[in-house]
């Protein structure tokens, strides 16, 4: 499948006019922490993660511990949390069914936003997630069965992932924010166009989150090539074409290395700029360089606490009181 523009065009700065009025910069910590359902346990041992990213999550295990942690977040001026963790061999999130009553209690007793990494679901679980009051459902959409097998070690198909989004939509999930990992196949494009097509077919996303392979020490992919800015721009441009009315985010899972082409522009800046020019108007902790480029494009800059997938209808909960400056927080330079 031919992409709509050449990768080199994406770095010229004259390709895309802003699709939305605002460029939204997000910081997750400290008001939107991640809580693990599985205490670092995962049956899949995915090749790009190897449980490394589970180690930094807060680790309640029982329903009461989850409620206690949520109440602590609420007392400390938090706006919500991501409930994530490891998976069973079938792709279902470990301990999720056991914790749904606790989520219901949290929603009844607080105004916290609950975002859930759903894993693969059946109809009963989808209905249970919605009944528990989860606000926002997220999961990676993978467009290649070969990549699912190679990276996750599962026999699931792209249709299984699409069915999860369809079942959540049919159950009445208020907001769905699918994630697409660019370069999940050891840094190569493999199935990303199909992932976007299946998202279009299966749900109406509130936000579409693009992430990019981040070669991580301690994983099988630690020496894999980082997706290039051109590749990132290609996928984001296709997403913008398929979802013209949907905000696109460049999420937190992306390369952060500082080496680049010189002239004061880092590799991190190049990736952010490629996504920006291709149509992304949300980013988790963009660099000051990226924010300056967004301003040059005519965007109004908004700085928000919380996850970049939070729908516009809920973003007032994370609005900074100082959107005109740095909002009191450091935008990360590479």
Q: Could you report the per-residue pLDDT of 224-267, keeping only the tens digit for each?
A: 888 899 999 999 999 999 999 999 999 987 887 644 444 445 77
Q: Which residues contact 269 (CB under 8 A, 6 or more apart)?
A: 260, 287, 289, 290, 334
pLDDT, tens only, 67-91: 999 999 999 999 999 999 888 889 9
Q: Tell me the C-alpha distance between 292 and 25, whole Å.
A: 12
CA atoms of 207 and 227, how far apart (whole Å)? 22
Alpha carbon distance 267, 263 (integer Å): 11
- Name the DSSP class of 245: T
What is the rounded CA–CA span in Å between residue 142 and residue 47? 14
40 band by pLDDT with thresholds 50, 70 and 90:
confident
Average pLDDT, the chain: 86
pTM of the model: 0.88
Other CB atoms within 10 Å distance of the CB of residue 223 = 10
Instruction: Classify residue 57 as exposed, middle or buried by CB count within 10 Å of its CB (0-12, 13-18, 19+).
Output: buried
Report the alpha-carbon distance of residue 284 to residue 248 in Å, rounded.
Answer: 12
**Residue range 119-148: mean pLDDT, rounded:** 97
Whole-number pLDDT of residue 253? 78
- Cβ-contact 29, 77 below 8 angstroms: no
Phi, psi at 57, each rounded to 5°: -85, 150
Tokens matching residue 265: 């522009």
Q: Contact 10/278 with Cβ under 8 angstroms?
A: yes
Q: What is the CATH number of domain 7-318?
A: 3.20.20.70
Write the CB contacts of 82 (distance below 8 Å, at least 6 apart in sequence): 28, 32, 33, 34, 35, 115, 116, 117, 307
């Amino acid at each position: 499948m031919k992409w709509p523009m050449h990768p080199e065009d994406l770095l010229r700065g004259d390709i895309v006019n802003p699709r939305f009025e605002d460029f939204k910069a997000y910081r997750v910590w400290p008001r939107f922490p991640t809580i693990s359902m599985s205490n670092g346990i995962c049956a899949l041992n995915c090749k790009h993660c190897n449980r490394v990213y589970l180690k930094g999550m807060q680790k309640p295990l029982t329903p009461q511990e989850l409620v206690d942690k949520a109440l602590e977040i609420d007392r400390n001026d938090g706006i919500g949390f991501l409930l994530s963790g490891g998976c069973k061999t079938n792709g279902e999130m470990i301990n999720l069914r056991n914790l749904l009553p606790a989520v219901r209690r949290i929603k009844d007793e607080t105004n916290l936003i609950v975002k859930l990494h759903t894993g693969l679901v059946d109809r009963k679980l989808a209905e249970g997630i919605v009944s528990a009051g989860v606000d926002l459902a997220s999961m990676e959409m993978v467009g290649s069965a070969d990549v699912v097998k190679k990276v996750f070690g599962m026999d699931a198909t792209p249709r299984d992932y699409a069915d999860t989004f369809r079942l959540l939509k049919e159950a009445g999930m208020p907001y769905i924010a699918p994630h697409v990992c660019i370069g999940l196949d050891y840094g190569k494009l493999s199935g990303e166009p199909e992932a976007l097509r299946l998202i279009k077919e299966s749900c109406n996303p509130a936000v579409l989150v693009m992430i990019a392979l981040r070669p991580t020490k301690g994983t099988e992919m630690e020496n894999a090539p980082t997706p290039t800015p051109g590749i990132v721009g290609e996928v984001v441009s296709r997403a913008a074409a398929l979802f013209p009315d949907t905000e696109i985010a460049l999420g937190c899972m992306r390369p952060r290395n500082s080496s680049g082409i010189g002239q004061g522009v880092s590799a991190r800046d190049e990736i952010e700029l490629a996504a920006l020019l291709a149509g992304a108007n949300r980013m988790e902790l963009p660099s000051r360089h990226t924010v300056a480029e967004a301003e040059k494009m005519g965007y109004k800059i908004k700085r928000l606490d919380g996850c970049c997938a939070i729908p516009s209808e809920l973003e007032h909960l994370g609005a900074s009181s100082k959107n005109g400056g740095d909002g009191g927080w450091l935008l990360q330079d590479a």
